[in-house]
Amino acid sequence: MLLRSRITGTGSYAPEKVLGNFDLEKMVDTSDGWITERTGIKERRIAKGIQSASDLGVEAAKKAIHMAGIMPKDIDMLIVATMSGDMPMPSTASIIQEKLGIKNSPAFDINAACSGFIYGLEIADSFIKSGKFKKVLLVGTEVLSRFTDWEDRTTCVLFGDGAGAVIMEPTKRNRGIVSMQLHSDGSLWDLLCVPGGGSRHPASKETVKDRLHYIKMKGNKTFKVAVKALESLVVNTLKANKIKPSQIALLIPHQANLRIIQAVAKRLHLPMSKVVVNIDKYGNTSSASIPLALDEAVRAGRINDGDYILLEAFGGGLTWGAALIKW
């Protein structure tokens, strides 16, 4: 049989500090009722002043490494999905590599915003199937609170900090990654972006004054595009693999908005009992949301050997993607 890649360890980490909706009521013109109704979010985690994306990623990675029963020295590739890395250069992957004591393996970042973990899964899967690497650490980690405009009532309620990680290894069994789909539409890049800090608008007094270093989002249009793209994506993924929705044991979606999650579940005729939802506790943690939710599901015993699980995400770029996995 051809090699497949499978997840052998999962881990997650969320900062201790909790910022609830009632706390936000004291900061901006909003209410717990409005936030909950529109998004499904009740609270989010916020990194401490000294915590960076690499710090959160390391904690999640340690748990994944332990579950997989390996040592950091065994890892032969490290991929980090993030849009809020420690610094522009070097990669956050390089910093995590040093903190974990991983030696002589390639390490690099990818930025596909909220779809980053799915994109990273495809990259890791391809390398493992090629036979080039045997133990890949994939981390999704975000400290979005540093890029959140706490004066913007429409966006500050959405985002939180967290990290998730998986170890991926080859297998010849009928398990692992069954199918992947990745998509992007660059014509819609401006629906969700952080304009400042890059080569187009390098940091200056003007960019700080104009608040260009914060997340900008055209919420209504993004919501409509996301629902349409994800509904089509998940249906096509299952159809291409001749899998009926009823065969899906668990849907693990990107935690961006409860209404989007419910719309996708409805399209698949899946009861919400088969959907992992933790957006109420963490908000939108971008590339960290799927691996964080996956780890919680694994540790809660919600996934059994041989189960089909479906992962799907949508984010800035605009990017979207899905992964069908036989556990």
Active site residue 241: no
| Residue of 114, 156, 257, 278 marked catalytic | 114
Active site (annotated) includes residue 284 = yes
**Is 201 assigned a catalytic role?**
no
State the catalytic residue, choosing from 21, 111, 254, 278: 254
CA 259 to chain centre: 18
How many CA atoms, within 13 angstroms, populate the side-chain half-sphere of residue 170? 14
The residues annotated with a catalytic role in the active site are: 114, 254, 284
